[in-house]
Chains A and B, each alone.
Chain A
Amino acid sequence: MIETAFTPWASLAGGVLIGVASTLLMLFAGRVMGATGVLAGAFQPASGQEFAWRAVLLAGMVTGPAVVWLISGEMPAIEVPVSTTALVIGGLIVGVGVTFGSGCTSGHGVCGMARLSPRSIVATVTFMAVTFVTVFIVRHLIGG
Protein backbone atom coordinates (compact mmCIF):
# COMPACT_ATOMS: atom_id res chain seq x y z
CA MET A 1 0.00 0.00 0.00
CA ILE A 2 1.16 3.52 -0.78
CA GLU A 3 -0.39 6.37 1.21
CA THR A 4 -1.41 9.40 -0.84
CA ALA A 5 -2.05 12.98 0.27
CA PHE A 6 -5.56 14.45 0.05
CA THR A 7 -5.42 16.96 -2.85
CA PRO A 8 -8.88 18.57 -3.15
CA TRP A 9 -7.78 21.66 -5.13
CA ALA A 10 -5.55 19.92 -7.66
CA SER A 11 -8.19 17.23 -8.12
CA LEU A 12 -10.98 19.79 -8.52
CA ALA A 13 -8.91 21.79 -11.02
CA GLY A 14 -8.14 18.59 -12.93
CA GLY A 15 -11.81 17.64 -12.90
CA VAL A 16 -12.83 21.04 -14.25
CA LEU A 17 -10.26 20.72 -17.07
CA ILE A 18 -11.64 17.26 -17.91
CA GLY A 19 -15.09 18.88 -18.07
CA VAL A 20 -13.82 21.76 -20.23
CA ALA A 21 -12.22 19.27 -22.64
CA SER A 22 -15.42 17.18 -22.78
CA THR A 23 -17.49 20.29 -23.47
CA LEU A 24 -15.14 21.55 -26.18
CA LEU A 25 -15.08 18.16 -27.94
CA MET A 26 -18.88 18.27 -28.11
CA LEU A 27 -18.82 21.91 -29.24
CA PHE A 28 -16.28 21.40 -32.04
CA ALA A 29 -16.72 17.76 -33.11
CA GLY A 30 -20.10 16.79 -31.68
CA ARG A 31 -18.56 13.77 -29.96
CA VAL A 32 -18.54 12.27 -26.49
CA MET A 33 -15.16 12.26 -24.69
CA GLY A 34 -14.99 8.55 -23.97
CA ALA A 35 -11.52 7.05 -23.64
CA THR A 36 -12.81 3.57 -24.49
CA GLY A 37 -14.45 4.66 -27.73
CA VAL A 38 -11.50 6.81 -28.75
CA LEU A 39 -9.03 3.98 -28.19
CA ALA A 40 -11.11 1.21 -29.74
CA GLY A 41 -12.09 3.44 -32.67
CA ALA A 42 -8.47 4.40 -33.35
CA PHE A 43 -7.51 0.72 -33.67
CA GLN A 44 -10.54 -0.28 -35.70
CA PRO A 45 -11.78 2.86 -37.50
CA ALA A 46 -14.80 2.84 -39.78
CA SER A 47 -13.04 5.29 -42.12
CA GLY A 48 -9.93 7.45 -42.44
CA GLN A 49 -11.74 10.44 -40.96
CA GLU A 50 -12.94 8.38 -37.99
CA PHE A 51 -9.32 7.38 -37.41
CA ALA A 52 -7.84 10.87 -37.79
CA TRP A 53 -9.73 12.71 -35.07
CA ARG A 54 -9.23 9.90 -32.58
CA ALA A 55 -5.51 9.62 -33.30
CA VAL A 56 -5.09 13.38 -32.91
CA LEU A 57 -7.10 13.41 -29.68
CA LEU A 58 -4.94 10.56 -28.30
CA ALA A 59 -1.77 12.43 -29.32
CA GLY A 60 -3.04 15.47 -27.43
CA MET A 61 -3.83 13.40 -24.32
CA VAL A 62 -0.35 11.86 -24.32
CA THR A 63 1.14 15.37 -24.50
CA GLY A 64 -0.63 16.31 -21.24
CA PRO A 65 2.03 15.07 -18.78
CA ALA A 66 4.78 16.95 -20.69
CA VAL A 67 2.76 20.17 -20.48
CA VAL A 68 2.40 19.65 -16.72
CA TRP A 69 6.16 19.07 -16.53
CA LEU A 70 6.88 22.28 -18.47
CA ILE A 71 4.66 24.33 -16.16
CA SER A 72 5.43 22.74 -12.78
CA GLY A 73 8.85 21.19 -13.36
CA GLU A 74 7.54 17.78 -12.29
CA MET A 75 6.04 14.86 -14.16
CA PRO A 76 2.65 13.77 -12.77
CA ALA A 77 3.13 11.17 -10.02
CA ILE A 78 2.41 7.59 -11.04
CA GLU A 79 2.70 5.29 -8.04
CA VAL A 80 1.81 1.67 -8.70
CA PRO A 81 0.83 -0.18 -5.52
CA VAL A 82 0.08 -3.47 -7.34
CA SER A 83 2.15 -6.18 -9.03
CA THR A 84 2.82 -6.30 -12.76
CA THR A 85 0.61 -9.39 -12.89
CA ALA A 86 -2.23 -7.36 -11.37
CA LEU A 87 -1.66 -4.56 -13.90
CA VAL A 88 -1.82 -6.93 -16.87
CA ILE A 89 -4.73 -9.03 -15.61
CA GLY A 90 -6.53 -5.84 -14.55
CA GLY A 91 -5.92 -4.35 -17.99
CA LEU A 92 -7.37 -7.39 -19.74
CA ILE A 93 -10.44 -7.35 -17.47
CA VAL A 94 -10.94 -3.60 -17.95
CA GLY A 95 -10.73 -4.03 -21.74
CA VAL A 96 -13.38 -6.75 -21.74
CA GLY A 97 -15.61 -4.83 -19.31
CA VAL A 98 -15.56 -1.47 -21.08
CA THR A 99 -16.28 -3.14 -24.42
CA PHE A 100 -19.36 -5.00 -23.18
CA GLY A 101 -20.36 -2.06 -20.97
CA SER A 102 -19.90 0.40 -23.88
CA GLY A 103 -17.83 2.84 -21.85
CA CYS A 104 -15.78 3.73 -18.83
CA THR A 105 -15.26 6.52 -16.32
CA SER A 106 -14.96 9.26 -18.94
CA GLY A 107 -17.68 8.15 -21.34
CA HIS A 108 -20.31 6.95 -18.86
CA GLY A 109 -19.13 8.60 -15.65
CA VAL A 110 -18.65 12.12 -17.01
CA CYS A 111 -20.19 12.59 -20.46
CA GLY A 112 -23.12 10.19 -20.11
CA MET A 113 -23.96 11.28 -16.56
CA ALA A 114 -23.81 14.93 -17.70
CA ARG A 115 -26.46 14.11 -20.32
CA LEU A 116 -28.47 12.31 -17.60
CA SER A 117 -28.39 9.16 -19.75
CA PRO A 118 -30.10 6.35 -17.83
CA ARG A 119 -27.65 3.80 -19.28
CA SER A 120 -24.67 5.82 -18.09
CA ILE A 121 -26.11 6.35 -14.61
CA VAL A 122 -26.67 2.60 -14.23
CA ALA A 123 -23.21 1.83 -15.64
CA THR A 124 -21.47 4.35 -13.38
CA VAL A 125 -23.24 3.23 -10.20
CA THR A 126 -22.41 -0.39 -11.12
CA PHE A 127 -18.70 0.05 -11.79
CA MET A 128 -18.16 2.37 -8.83
CA ALA A 129 -19.86 -0.09 -6.46
CA VAL A 130 -17.97 -3.09 -7.88
CA THR A 131 -14.65 -1.25 -7.66
CA PHE A 132 -15.28 -0.45 -3.98
CA VAL A 133 -16.05 -4.12 -3.32
CA THR A 134 -13.06 -5.32 -5.37
CA VAL A 135 -10.61 -3.06 -3.50
CA PHE A 136 -12.10 -4.17 -0.18
CA ILE A 137 -11.68 -7.84 -1.09
CA VAL A 138 -8.15 -7.42 -2.48
CA ARG A 139 -6.88 -5.23 0.38
CA HIS A 140 -8.75 -6.45 3.42
CA LEU A 141 -9.95 -10.00 2.76
CA ILE A 142 -7.13 -11.36 0.60
CA GLY A 143 -4.70 -8.88 2.15
CA GLY A 144 -2.69 -7.72 -0.88
Chain B
Amino acid sequence: MKLIAIYLIGVIFGVGISISGMANPAKVINFFDIAGIWDPSLIFVMGGALVTTFIGYKLVFGRAAPVFEDSFNVPTSRTIDARLIGGSAIFGIGWGISGFCPGGALPALGTGRWEVFAFTAALVVGIFLAKFAQSLAAPRAQAQT
Protein backbone atom coordinates (compact mmCIF):
# COMPACT_ATOMS: atom_id res chain seq x y z
CA MET B 1 0.00 0.00 0.00
CA LYS B 2 2.68 2.43 1.10
CA LEU B 3 4.78 1.85 -2.01
CA ILE B 4 1.77 2.18 -4.31
CA ALA B 5 0.90 5.51 -2.69
CA ILE B 6 4.51 6.70 -3.05
CA TYR B 7 4.58 5.63 -6.70
CA LEU B 8 1.43 7.67 -7.40
CA ILE B 9 2.93 10.65 -5.53
CA GLY B 10 5.96 10.35 -7.83
CA VAL B 11 3.63 10.38 -10.85
CA ILE B 12 1.89 13.55 -9.60
CA PHE B 13 5.29 15.20 -9.06
CA GLY B 14 6.46 14.07 -12.51
CA VAL B 15 3.33 15.40 -14.23
CA GLY B 16 3.62 18.67 -12.30
CA ILE B 17 7.27 19.15 -13.27
CA SER B 18 6.49 18.21 -16.88
CA ILE B 19 3.68 20.73 -17.42
CA SER B 20 5.33 23.45 -15.31
CA GLY B 21 8.33 23.93 -17.60
CA MET B 22 10.92 23.11 -14.89
CA ALA B 23 12.08 20.17 -17.00
CA ASN B 24 12.78 22.43 -19.98
CA PRO B 25 16.26 24.01 -19.78
CA ALA B 26 15.36 26.73 -22.34
CA LYS B 27 12.50 27.89 -20.12
CA VAL B 28 14.59 27.69 -16.94
CA ILE B 29 17.49 29.70 -18.36
CA ASN B 30 15.11 32.26 -19.90
CA PHE B 31 13.54 32.75 -16.46
CA PHE B 32 16.95 33.77 -15.12
CA ASP B 33 17.70 35.93 -18.19
CA ILE B 34 15.97 39.15 -17.12
CA ALA B 35 18.40 41.18 -19.21
CA GLY B 36 17.55 39.13 -22.31
CA ILE B 37 14.60 37.01 -23.45
CA TRP B 38 12.93 36.83 -20.06
CA ASP B 39 10.18 34.24 -19.50
CA PRO B 40 8.66 34.80 -16.01
CA SER B 41 6.71 31.49 -16.03
CA LEU B 42 8.79 29.85 -13.32
CA ILE B 43 7.60 32.39 -10.75
CA PHE B 44 4.22 30.67 -11.09
CA VAL B 45 5.79 27.24 -10.60
CA MET B 46 7.65 28.26 -7.46
CA GLY B 47 4.71 30.30 -6.15
CA GLY B 48 2.14 27.59 -6.82
CA ALA B 49 4.31 24.86 -5.32
CA LEU B 50 5.28 26.92 -2.28
CA VAL B 51 1.79 28.13 -1.36
CA THR B 52 0.28 24.65 -1.88
CA THR B 53 2.99 22.96 0.20
CA PHE B 54 2.79 25.63 2.92
CA ILE B 55 -0.96 25.06 3.34
CA GLY B 56 -0.62 21.29 2.87
CA TYR B 57 2.11 20.97 5.52
CA LYS B 58 0.03 23.02 7.99
CA LEU B 59 -2.78 20.47 7.60
CA VAL B 60 -0.47 17.42 7.67
CA PHE B 61 1.48 18.56 10.74
CA GLY B 62 -1.83 18.74 12.59
CA ARG B 63 -1.62 14.94 12.67
CA ALA B 64 0.36 13.03 15.28
CA ALA B 65 2.14 10.94 12.62
CA PRO B 66 2.17 10.13 8.89
CA VAL B 67 -0.22 7.47 7.57
CA PHE B 68 2.41 4.76 7.02
CA GLU B 69 5.11 5.74 9.54
CA ASP B 70 5.42 6.24 13.28
CA SER B 71 6.77 9.77 13.03
CA PHE B 72 7.62 12.60 10.65
CA ASN B 73 11.19 12.52 9.41
CA VAL B 74 12.09 16.12 8.56
CA PRO B 75 15.49 17.86 8.58
CA THR B 76 16.04 19.48 11.97
CA SER B 77 19.39 21.22 11.53
CA ARG B 78 19.25 24.99 11.89
CA THR B 79 22.95 25.60 11.31
CA ILE B 80 23.66 28.19 8.64
CA ASP B 81 27.29 27.66 7.70
CA ALA B 82 29.73 28.07 4.83
CA ARG B 83 28.96 24.56 3.61
CA LEU B 84 25.25 25.38 3.14
CA ILE B 85 25.86 28.72 1.47
CA GLY B 86 28.86 27.59 -0.59
CA GLY B 87 27.09 24.42 -1.72
CA SER B 88 23.97 26.38 -2.70
CA ALA B 89 26.10 28.90 -4.61
CA ILE B 90 27.87 26.07 -6.47
CA PHE B 91 24.47 24.56 -7.30
CA GLY B 92 23.40 27.95 -8.72
CA ILE B 93 26.43 28.02 -11.02
CA GLY B 94 25.64 24.56 -12.37
CA TRP B 95 21.94 25.34 -12.73
CA GLY B 96 22.75 28.49 -14.70
CA ILE B 97 25.21 26.67 -16.97
CA SER B 98 23.01 23.64 -17.73
CA GLY B 99 19.42 24.77 -17.15
CA PHE B 100 18.63 21.51 -15.33
CA CYS B 101 18.09 21.05 -11.59
CA PRO B 102 17.71 17.56 -10.05
CA GLY B 103 13.94 17.89 -9.56
CA GLY B 104 13.51 18.95 -13.17
CA ALA B 105 15.82 16.35 -14.66
CA LEU B 106 14.60 13.21 -12.87
CA PRO B 107 11.03 13.26 -14.29
CA ALA B 108 12.44 14.42 -17.65
CA LEU B 109 14.33 11.10 -17.92
CA GLY B 110 10.92 9.70 -18.86
CA THR B 111 10.99 11.58 -22.15
CA GLY B 112 13.90 9.36 -23.18
CA ARG B 113 15.93 12.36 -24.37
CA TRP B 114 19.66 11.63 -24.32
CA GLU B 115 20.48 15.17 -23.10
CA VAL B 116 18.64 14.46 -19.83
CA PHE B 117 20.58 11.22 -19.34
CA ALA B 118 23.87 13.05 -20.00
CA PHE B 119 23.03 15.67 -17.37
CA THR B 120 21.76 13.12 -14.85
CA ALA B 121 24.80 10.85 -15.24
CA ALA B 122 27.06 13.84 -14.59
CA LEU B 123 24.83 14.84 -11.65
CA VAL B 124 25.25 11.42 -10.03
CA VAL B 125 29.03 11.54 -10.57
CA GLY B 126 29.10 15.01 -8.99
CA ILE B 127 27.11 13.81 -5.97
CA PHE B 128 29.54 10.95 -5.39
CA LEU B 129 32.62 13.13 -5.91
CA ALA B 130 31.25 15.45 -3.22
CA LYS B 131 30.35 12.58 -0.91
CA PHE B 132 33.88 11.21 -1.36
CA ALA B 133 35.35 14.61 -0.53
CA GLN B 134 33.10 14.78 2.54
CA SER B 135 34.19 11.29 3.65
CA LEU B 136 37.84 12.41 3.56
CA ALA B 137 36.91 15.11 6.04
CA ALA B 138 34.57 12.73 7.88
CA PRO B 139 36.14 12.61 11.38
CA ARG B 140 35.81 16.40 11.70
CA ALA B 141 32.34 16.51 10.09
CA GLN B 142 31.00 13.71 12.28
CA ALA B 143 32.19 15.49 15.37
CA GLN B 144 30.20 18.51 14.24
CA THR B 145 26.91 16.66 13.64
Contacts and interface: CB of A to CB of B under 8 A. Distances in A.
Interface of A: 1-36, 38-40, 43-44, 52-53, 56-68, 75-82, 84, 86-102, 104-106, 108-115, 117-119, 122-124, 126-136, 138-140
Given A26-B66, A43-B124, A60-B6, A94 B94 contact: yes
Interface in B90-145: 90-111, 113, 115-116, 118-131, 134
Contacts of B49: 15-16, 18-19, 22, 110
25 contacts: A4-B26, A4-B39, A12-B47, A17-B15, A17-B19, A26-B60, A27-B56, A28-B2, A30-B71, A39-B106, A43-B128, A60-B11, A64-B17, A65-B14, A65-B111, A68-B15, A80-B25, A86-B97, A90-B94, A93-B90, A95-B127, A104-B103, A122-B88, A130-B96, A131-B93
A1 to B, nearest CB: 6
A18 B30 contact: no
A28 B3 CA distance: 10
A110 to B, nearest CB: 5
A138 B2 CA distance: 45
B63 to A, nearest CB: 8
B89 A127 contact: yes
A28 B105 CA distance: 24
Interface string B42-83: 111111111111101101110101111101111101111001
Contact of A94 (B19, B24, B85, B98): B98
Contacts of A14: 15-22, 45, 48
Contacts of A56: 3, 6-7, 10
Contacts of B109: 62
Given A11-B41, A114-B54, A40 B131 contact: yes
Given A11-B42, A66-B110, A92-B122, A18 B104 contact: no
